[in-house]
Chains A and B, each alone.
Chain A
Amino acid sequence: MDNTQIEKMDNNSGASVLLADADVAIIGGGVVGCGVARRMAIEGASVVLIEKAADILDGASKGNSAILHTGFDAPPGSLEWKCVQDGHAEYLDICKSMKLPVLKTGALVTAWTEDEEERLQGVLEKGLENGVDDLRLLSRTEIHKMEPHLDSSVRAAISVPREYVIDPWSAPLAYLLQAVENDGKALFNAEVTGGDFDGSHWLLKTRRGKVRARYVVNCAGLYGDIVDHAALGNSEFVIKPRKGQFVVFDMAASKLINSIILPVPSERTKGIVLFPTIFGNMMVGPTAEEQDSRDDASVDKDVLNMLAEKAIKMLPALADIPVTATYAGIRPATERKEYRIIEDTERNWITLGGIRSTGLTSALGLGHHVHTLLSSMGASFEKREHVVTPTVPNLAEHLPRDCDEPGYGEVVCHCEMVTQREIEAVFAGKLPAGSLAGLKRRTRATMGRCQGFYCSARLAELTEGKFEIPLGVGDAHE
């Protein structure tokens, strides 16, 4: 029986409804959950993704640095390294067929002090050990030639040619869309509160109803330990939320830089990066601030000023470029640095914990890893003969946008050139936006320099009745 029948079958309201019965339930609609859902659907499993928010990418995945990593600085031989390498390769493999954009920027690991310069050799060696064999030490002259606007105090750099910039929101959307197009299901506003394993199947309790599944993959990111506690009764790790703030500069900055400018990484963090975005902006961030809250992504004036100053120090011409946006993301770090992959083979449960900033790249690799783990648990699925490959609308600035095609109605968001047709398509699609933030991530609406000064009114009109938390809170009366 299909999922729609199941929902109709039980018309009791509330938590006793059986929402889905699937081979694999994936908890969490971040990039990792979306990547795992895609892989398992392709491998022939019936999948259901369960998300507690109204839309995907509501937690850690909403604020990252959008870099497709090579894994040059990952711990050699680690699972993180392997998943990053697999993810990098698979992304480049599928990006054409799914119309996912890539901005082939390359990266420079830049040394600004004597100490950093000394550490560059180690970075080079680690990169080679990690199989990233196209790293190259650059002289000052070479750096200047590649990045003429970079401050002349840069001492040396390593070029990492295959570090790229991607669209951090369209990619996971495409992954989940592919799962859904291949008979998968996605449930929103369905926080998992517990579950029971009967020896062969899980019955997960969610705020909206129950989900039955043979296998469960916990991709709950910032809430990974909480979900493990709720269902398994214990967790092998503790999430230590780590906030990262970003400053986004106006599109005028994009002509100042070509590459991702990385610092020499430390043991703890990749450090503060200056990088072009695929949407045509330039960004600086993230910070790495430990905090208790898993959802307080507040920005702080002093930190933002520090970030802007740091960016200007690296790229002096930025001093004249206005700031477009500021935001913060929270990484699901744990008490240890490495990925925390936990298998409960007795209870058909896998937890993907502690997936930090490399998650955007490693998600596809983690999908393969989950498939391998499930197979070793005895799961076997008949690989799909015909895999549906959906495409997503292009949001990248360097490629044709919707407004370049006639018949778009009107431009709604002028700063980011978002059309009425694009916005309407978001609500007609199989994964419509569940919140204004979700709409922004699918279209770029209001993300530009005016931040909604011009288009908020029209957006309120176009999205009326679509969101649980609407733009308008009432009628204007006189």
Chain B
Amino acid sequence: MNDILKAGSCDVAIIGGGPAGISAAIELKKLGIDRIIVLERECEAGGIPRHCGHPPFGIREYGRILSGPAYAKKIVADSSLLGVEIALRTSVVSVGQGGLLSIICPDGATELRAKRVLLATGTRETPRSARFVSGGRPMGIYNTGALQSMVYLKNTIPFKRPIVVGTEIVSFSALFTCKKAGIQPVAMLEEKSSPTVRWPISLAAKFFAVPLHLDSHITKIIGHDRVTSVRFGNGHGSEKEIECDGVLFTGKFIPESSLARMGHIDIESGTGIPIVDQYGRCSDRTYYVAGNIAHHSAEVAGKCWRTGKTAAGWICKDLAGQLM
């Protein structure tokens, strides 16, 4: 077990070792706050960029273009040079009043008392279930996050000819991943009458050779063991059925604020985002937020990096007694 976890107390505990959490840790170190720890539940730090195998990452932070995994490695290495401690395989299972964290790691369960806590737990896509999509529940139904971690971390694919649902930025990130992995999506569906991203979308769809269907929502997922086809309509009675072997639900991001929700921290009704003041401070003033947990949509890593840095600044002032 890590020294800080053994001691059971620290100045700042950062929950989540993605771009926001790592950038906050680096900034805190630079500002002279030494007893800090990043708590990361995965076996590796770096967050979502670890499995975004496409550029561009790192433009804001490093002034050059990196792939996601390269970016993730770089931020972790940079933090390590500054002596940031990252406790891997370490899950915070509940947050308590005044910065008391219940933690589970392979060495056992423990508690950590932090003077300040930064929630940097990120965001995830809305799964099929919470979208109330009709039909069976065969294998082959995933979110982009799952697809990308399968492809980039484990070199395996969950389907070969899926239907992609959504036209957000992440949806095109998913198309890139498909192209790289040898997956050929058979259609892209968008419920609205125009795509969510403001790109020349028809060109993009052409580039990936994926027909785009606007005004279209799934009316039934069909398949017993695996997905075999999907029926979709335009809401005016016309329905189409397309053969496919999977459905990829992209986007509709929701902040990963379960710890706050399960605990005592106030969250915004509807969005699930923790309610914060102008300093990014939660209803329990020991807690702060940074990165995508604080956003309505998924922001790029560079922006999360910046919010992590900003949060570190406020936390530093707070610890010095300079915040009201």
Residues on A facing B (Cβ under 8 Å):
248, 250-252, 295-301, 304-305, 308, 320, 322-327, 403-404, 406-411, 414-415, 417, 436, 449-454, 456-458, 460-461, 469, 471-478
Q: A251-B262, A320-B269, A474-B160 are in contact. Are A456 and B142 (CB under 8 A)?
A: yes
Once the chains bind, are A301 and B137 in contact (CB under 8 Å)?
no
Chain B nearest CB from A246 CB (Å) reads 11
Since A411-B89, A417-B93 are in contact, a sample of 17 more A-B pairs with Cβ atoms closer than 8 Å, ordered by chain A residue number, is A298-B136, A298-B220, A299-B134, A299-B137, A305-B132, A326-B129, A403-B104, A410-B89, A411-B41, A411-B104, A414-B91, A452-B143, A453-B124, A453-B125, A471-B150, A471-B158, A475-B157
| A221 vs B134: C-alpha distance when bound (angstroms) | 25
Residues of B within 8 A of A296 (CB): 136
Residues on B facing A (Cβ under 8 Å):
41, 43, 51, 89, 91, 93, 104, 106-109, 124-125, 127-130, 132-137, 139, 142-143, 145-146, 149-160, 180-182, 220-221, 224-226, 245, 254, 258, 261-262, 269-270, 272
Q: Which of A250, A300, A407 contacts B134 (CB 8 A)?
A: A300
Residues of B within 8 A of A301 (CB): 132-134
Chain B nearest CB from A52 CB (Å) reads 13
Q: A325-B129, A457-B146 are in contact. Are A475 and B155 (CB under 8 A)?
A: yes
| A323 vs B262: C-alpha distance when bound (angstroms) | 14
Once the chains bind, are B272 and A322 in contact (CB under 8 Å)?
yes
| A407 vs B154: C-alpha distance when bound (angstroms) | 24
| A477 vs B156: C-alpha distance when bound (angstroms) | 9
Residues of A within 8 A of B151 (CB): 476
17 residue pairs of the A-B complex, CB under 8 angstroms, read A251-B258, A298-B134, A320-B269, A324-B130, A417-B91, A452-B127, A453-B145, A457-B149, A457-B150, A457-B153, A457-B154, A461-B156, A471-B150, A471-B158, A475-B157, A476-B152, A478-B180
Once the chains bind, are B149 and A456 in contact (CB under 8 Å)?
yes
Residues of A within 8 A of B245 (CB): 473
Once the chains bind, are B155 and A476 in contact (CB under 8 Å)?
yes
Once the chains bind, are B127 and A453 in contact (CB under 8 Å)?
yes
Residues of A within 8 A of B145 (CB): 453-454
- Across the A-B interface, the 7 shortest Cβ-Cβ residue pairs: A472-B156, A451-B127, A457-B149, A476-B181, A456-B146, A406-B108, A457-B150
| A298 vs B153: C-alpha distance when bound (angstroms) | 32
Once the chains bind, are A451 and B128 in contact (CB under 8 Å)?
yes
| B146, closest chain A residue (CB) | A456
| A464, closest chain B residue (CB) | B156
| B104, closest chain A residue (CB) | A403
